[in-house]
Structure 1
Amino acid sequence: MSEDDRSWGQFVEEVPDQSLLAEFEGAEPHTAAEIADAIAVTEYEATSKLDALCRAGELRRKQIREEPPLTVWFRPRAAFVGEDGDDRPVDERVDELLKDMEMPGVSGMMRDWRRDAVRAAFDRLREAGELDAEAFKRDVYPSHAAGYDEPEPWWEMIAERLGDLPGVVDPRWGGETWRYDGP
């Protein structure tokens, strides 16, 4: 396909989700330009499809540079839990993910407190089904402050990790509600 032919590309709806997701090996991030080249569509169409998969919870995105802007998309770690016939209970999978999750803190004890705080937020979401940030701060922060003096930086630490756990659905762009859709 020539560059001119490709500039018109396929309609985004014609690109099967699985074809695009197959370009992601593990959790390695990719730019829209890399994906566009791999699936032979325009960068604009690739960006539209990548954003749609983010809204569906299949991918996550992160802006890694503001000037010039650079955004990458990647599969959340939770997408790999349960693959290869892993039918362990969700609590075992969450414990394993938390054990391997990078946590801020200068001591092992502080990092453990923060793992416990993420686990408490997960458990509260699992119990409620849906929560917004204010509910997490109200219900979980007081008993699991994990060394944070204020709920805002605590919530930033929690929110950055909570979406990587199985069954957790991040709020859609512009939304505020976190959901648990797991077993």
Structure 2
Amino acid sequence: MSNHDDRSWGQFVEEIPDDTVVERFEGAEPKTATEIADILSCTEYEARSKLDALCRTGQLDRKKVREEPPLTVWYQPRATFVGEDNGTGRPVDEHVSALLDDMDVPGISGMMRDWRRDAIRATFDRLRDTREIEEAELIEQVYPAHSAGYDEAEQWWAMVSERLGDLPGVVEPRWGGKTWRYDGQ
């Protein structure tokens, strides 16, 4: 029986220290979630969750390199291996732009997807400006100018809110809550 088969569901992602994952990257060499799962003896799902969490903190970046079959790779930000800071101190706007560029959003055309990324960015910027805001107020302030092709604010908010929490510093409401916070710089 191979080591891959007997590990069942692997470790819980919270039990894998961030440094343990980041140390597996050498220079600019990208790695897939499958490669990281094999290295850490965890499931691919757990590896992907941990890698995505490290992207949100700026310790790693990701890029979708192929649509069919889908292939995403994770890699260290350039600053990490050229002797600069580890990527967490880079400007928030730059980090958010990189995440949005790689973010999967619905839309039948590139222009539509760009509008939707712009709507997510405008929502992020508003949240960052206010630091804390109720969901209804956030929708009221951003949706009219950034509807991104949505006729209904509820549909728009479903698309935006699903992705907003993936951006650095954004704290989603607790279960049942309606207040969004920005705790970043």
TM-score tier by shorter-chain length is 0.5 to 0.7
Partner of 1:143, secondary structure, is coil
Which residue is equivalent to 2:109? Answer: 107
Q: Does 1:126 align with 2:128?
A: yes
* Cα deviation 1:48-86 (Å, max 9, x = unaligned): xxxxxxxxxxxxxxxxxxxxxxxxx93483542422401
Select which of 11, 24, 49 maps to 1:74: 49
Q: Distance in 1 between matches of 2:173 and 2:50?
A: 16
Cα offset for 1:18? 8.9
Select which of 138, 146, 149 maps to 1:147: 149
Cα offset for 1:131? 1.4
Match runs of 1:17-166 below 5 Å:
20-22=15-17, 74-75=49-50, 77=52, 79-80=54-55, 81-83=57-59, 84=80, 85-86=86-87, 87-166=89-168
Q: Is the 8 A contact 1:76 1:164 kept in 2?
A: no
Q: Is the 8 A contact 2:139 2:157 kept in 1?
A: yes
* Cα deviation 1:69-124 (Å, max 9, x = unaligned): xxxx9348354242240121000000000000001000000000000000000000
Give the % identical residues.
54
After superposition, the Cα gap between the structure-2 partners of 1:135 and 1:77, relative to the gap in structure 1 and judged at 3 Å, is farther
Q: TM-score, normalised on structure 1? A: 0.60
After superposition, the Cα gap between the structure-2 partners of 1:156 and 1:19, relative to the gap in structure 1 and judged at 3 Å, is closer
Cα offset for 1:21? 4.0
C-alpha RMSD of the superposition: 3.0
* Cα deviation 1:108-153 (Å, max 9, x = unaligned): 0000000000000000000000112201210000000000001000
Unpaired stretches in structure 2, ≥5 consecutive residues:
1-11, 23-31, 34-41, 43-47, 60-79, 81-85
Q: Distance in 1 between matches of 2:135 and 2:169?
A: 17
**1:74 aligned partner, one-letter code:** S
Q: Distance in 2 between matches of 1:78 and 1:178?
A: 19
Q: TM-score, normalised on structure 2? A: 0.60
Unpaired stretches in structure 1, ≥5 consecutive residues:
1-16, 29-37, 39-72
Q: Distance in 2 between matches of 1:82 and 1:102?
A: 18
